[in-house]
Structure 1
């Protein structure tokens, strides 16, 4: 029994029927519950696309690119893992087909395969298994201890041609690590026909499990995703046709927030089922949301999220508002801070280009509606992005927030546009711009970073955790608890032109945070304003449900006309 306990346990989460079913949230929730049992947990996301990483994806196609401490540009699900589990992951926690093929080809070029014909089986599948085992041994928290459980989310849908090598690798992996160290959790859709009282259909789940079994993988548990709670008899029917005990068929219906999913699973004895599967001592297994202190706090957070009445209206003026997953971490950071400040978050989405004056005649309805939304907001946030579309609309939004003393928070591109707005409307430099948008401008207040490649896109930006030094006592320094230095994650190619900083400082725009060299601007604040803060880094990546990021907490507090924690 002791030897079994010392071996790493693997929970593989697969998906069937459709993509986007919520595997990432369920994988995060499973890991969260195991962590509440006192186990050290890590996570691996498998993405079956050929890209090396997510860095070059369009936000409209793939949503947010999440950035890790080591500069890894990864799938947004790794953001869920970090937020739910309170861990710090690295780029090797995200496996892609591109990475695996690159490793295999590099080994072949070195002659590691001793003249063998390199094939998907065994070379590719072995590489996948070795990668997972290797990553599962790396500590992901301050304890520096080796994880005891590794959650592996298998991206895509079972049956996809892109996922075939990974499914085969997992088929082999179950024998490699042993049955008592391997648990397959299959997530499947149970659709409902017609109206809300229509019949829930099990056929898609049956077909999905049949495909899975045909590939040599047999689910230990099935998690049924549905709009409403499962109707009577559905579990029994799935059990009969999928050869899984009814008690191991769990239901996750649509919730008001993703944070409720662990509470749904604990009520269905998920931790106990996993402990029995792994032959572990079940003395610390939570059986309800009140059976452990951590779960009790989490449950209280969920109740508070649902019962808040007083709202705070935040306008997000962005370029990708048609794909809100592009701002996933920003949404979460605002949500966490709003709960902390006892406010119900109400996001007002504004497409930046509709605020532009030249679009008043082109899109009159959108123009007036967008300005009405902006004027009704209690705070304005301009998030990151690339390209010149909508920049003039962002400039107008920031000018409105500055002139009317409405709390403003700029992130990455938001800082750069705030500098452009100040140069144009305060310093009087009418053509002031970023060289990203106008290479010929006579006032290049934002310029390309000299060390960044102009010929390659993937992984060439200023990425990952960097140090910022406060230059003076200021509001942002107070938000961080009077720390002299902070570390935050970055993702950008352009920076404020250091040669023009003195002009802004003399006009009341202060760069209160700079990098190690002192020449790269990281944080700006404006004189005589209740809250006008912009940062070059991405604070949203480090927010946690029970520990909101201080910049977002300050922003939401300012929107309520108080900063209660200073």
Structure 2
């Protein structure tokens, strides 16, 4: 097993995840089976209880694991399936060690950070790296390990020490380190000092970078890279320039041009590496398809304008999988994507003068959009604005896609404005139980414990009888059952389903027992679809999510052509 570790210096959030995913993709195009692990130094057991406004999106895996959003990057780029074990947190490690201590596994020894915590980290990495990531059931050849945060942070110290020891545990010929660092530009001058200091700190902790990946806004000048090479103790060809690009899907091409695989192969002693990326997956050359996709992106001139009506729009990473799914679909539809971020609360009438400008601006974005998307979320804030946007989309035949909460919003809106149940509501959204609870709490879900207690992970959805007309079902290939990932505590109240369906709102997909509403669709509408599941979690760069693809195609006016093909 070979390991490629990606660490970061200077600041966090500079693109380690994209560089790690791109490196893994390049190895996969050479025929390697690649896995990935993300290390997050926070004390939480997982990302499930963390605010999207603070940490970004919670990504959900097949096994129901609520993990860091970077695991979504790995799955999308590498087309693999990871487990909750592929996300290591300080909370998980300490819980594991404390549990072993309580069982007496340490035979009375004093349990310490070194060696017990560091050993647990190393054992975890070695164990998880061997877990198969595809249907073949074969053990991966190489594992990408991304260390979250910034080297030098107090909370990262045990992981850095564990990785220092790990290189000797697995053998230095099986361990390579990419250090990602920021090169800022101050008054027109490219500054190398932050990178020099970051690498010096890293070396002082016992880790020597094999590649220094320099994040920057523009290409670095040769004197800059030479200076980094000299003061960071790496060769000039080991300094990679990862400057800003028009699309993150160009990053693998940029790294390939700078011969990152050749550098890593030399360090890892991979003597038989095919330097030509010719790996074929499911009958197609993965690299050729990737290059075609990215080159097509640069030649697109037709645009599609999507209004994303959400409640966490101040931090775009809160909807990172939604954004990526829209991008994947836009690439397939050959459209340049424009996302207009609409804060749902701004759509709600307010008497105050300060909100009037935002109110009119938000409604302008919604009314001028080619399509309206209401993604998932929790809590009451902004839901009346979402309902108003949904009503606009339904009445004006504007393509609409509702995800999780977005489906529930569509049900409430339909009940209020079509069935005439004016006080229709959700048990989640108001403190007192509504007279007409269209959305109810699922009986088996805990109300006292939040972490990992929702309806989570991959579950089947069955299309119902006489739904062959469904546009979404046609995009799925006319199948009877689809498997998608879920993350929710509330569901449509079955008591109201007959009335809703008699009024024209069709629940074309239900769970395998026929009890839970999974997909709704309006027959006489260009595209009005809601899914209780989160299809964005399974969208891939070369295989877009079908609900998003249909939505984007309808918003672009090419849905019928897409379905016919």
Q: Which residue, 262, 266, 272 being the options, matches 2:262?
A: 272
Q: Residue 521 of structure 1: CA displacement?
A: 0.4
SS at match of 2:341: strand
The 5 Å alignment of 1:131-146 reads: 131-146=124-139
CA distance in 1, matches of 2:245, 2:238: 21
Q: Residue 361 of structure 1: CA displacement?
A: 5.2
Q: Say whether residues 1:223 and 2:230 are aligned partners.
A: no
After TM superposition, the structure 1 stretch with the greater mean CA deviation from structure 2, 370-379 or 434-443, is 434-443
After TM superposition, the structure 1 stretch with the greater mean CA deviation from structure 2, 431-440 or 384-393, is 431-440
The 5 Å alignment of 1:318-467 reads: 318-358=310-350, 363-438=355-430, 439-467=432-460
SS at match of 2:12: coil
Contiguous gaps of at least 5 residues in structure 2? none
Q: Residue 286 of structure 1: CA displacement?
A: 3.2
Q: Which residue, 124, 142, 145 being the options, matches 1:149?
A: 142
Q: Which residue, 149, 160, 164 being the options, matches 2:157?
A: 164
SS at match of 1:363: helix
Q: Residue 288 of structure 1: CA displacement?
A: 11
Does the CA contact (< 8 Å) of 2:518 and 2:531 recur in 1? yes
CA distance in 2, matches of 1:539, 1:382: 13
CA distance in 2, matches of 1:397, 1:340: 27
Q: Say whether residues 1:121 and 2:114 are aligned partners.
A: yes
Q: Which residue, 281, 292, 301 being the options, matches 2:271?
A: 281
Does the CA contact (< 8 Å) of 2:278 and 2:285 recur in 1? no
Does the CA contact (< 8 Å) of 2:101 and 2:111 recur in 1? yes
The 5 Å alignment of 1:405-554 reads: 405-438=397-430, 439-471=432-464, 472-473=467-468, 474-554=470-550
Does the CA contact (< 8 Å) of 1:235 and 1:249 recur in 2? yes
Does the CA contact (< 8 Å) of 2:29 and 2:278 recur in 1? no
SS at match of 2:543: coil
CA distance in 2, matches of 1:262, 1:199: 27
The list of structure 1 runs, each at least 4 consecutive aligned residues, that deviate by more than 4 angstroms after superposition, is 359-362
Q: Residue 358 of structure 1: CA displacement?
A: 3.5
SS at match of 1:321: coil
After TM superposition, the structure 1 stretch with the greater mean CA deviation from structure 2, 298-307 or 365-374, is 298-307
Q: Say whether residues 1:59 and 2:58 are aligned partners.
A: no
SS at match of 1:145: coil
Query: Could you tell me the TM-score, scaled by structure 2's length?
Result: 0.96
CA distance in 1, matches of 2:44, 2:535: 26
Q: Residue 294 of structure 1: CA displacement?
A: 2.8
1:5 alignment counterpart: none
Does the CA contact (< 8 Å) of 2:39 and 2:88 recur in 1? yes
CA distance in 2, matches of 1:129, 1:283: 27
Q: Which residue, 238, 241, 257 being the options, matches 1:251?
A: 241
Does the CA contact (< 8 Å) of 2:93 and 2:121 recur in 1? yes
For residues 287 and 498 of structure 1, do their structure 2 counterparts lie closer, same or farther at Cα, with a shift above 3 Å needed? closer
Does the CA contact (< 8 Å) of 2:372 and 2:398 recur in 1? yes
Contiguous gaps of at least 5 residues in structure 1? 1-7
Q: Size of the alignment, in residue pairs?
A: 554
CA distance in 1, matches of 2:289, 2:64: 32
Q: Residue 69 of structure 1: CA displacement?
A: 0.4
CA distance in 1, matches of 2:503, 2:152: 61
Does the CA contact (< 8 Å) of 1:266 and 1:286 recur in 2? no
CA distance in 2, matches of 1:16, 1:359: 48
1:245-278 residue CA offsets vs partner (Å, 9 max, x unmatched): 1111111001111111111111111111111111
Q: Which residue, 30, 34, 43 being the options, matches 1:50?
A: 43
RMSD: 1.4
Q: Say whether residues 1:204 and 2:194 are aligned partners.
A: yes
Q: Residue 498 of structure 1: CA displacement?
A: 0.7
Query: Could you tell me the TM-score, scaled by structure 1's length?
Result: 0.96
1:46-87 residue CA offsets vs partner (Å, 9 max, x unmatched): 000000000011111011111000001111100000001010
Does the CA contact (< 8 Å) of 2:113 and 2:158 recur in 1? yes
1:3 alignment counterpart: none
Does the CA contact (< 8 Å) of 2:439 and 2:492 recur in 1? yes
CA distance in 2, matches of 1:31, 1:61: 28
Q: Which residue, 76, 90, 93 being the options, matches 1:97?
A: 90
Q: Residue 283 of structure 1: CA displacement?
A: 4.6
SS at match of 1:144: coil
Does the CA contact (< 8 Å) of 1:34 and 1:271 recur in 2? yes
For residues 84 and 359 of structure 1, do their structure 2 counterparts lie closer, same or farther at Cα, with a shift above 3 Å needed? farther
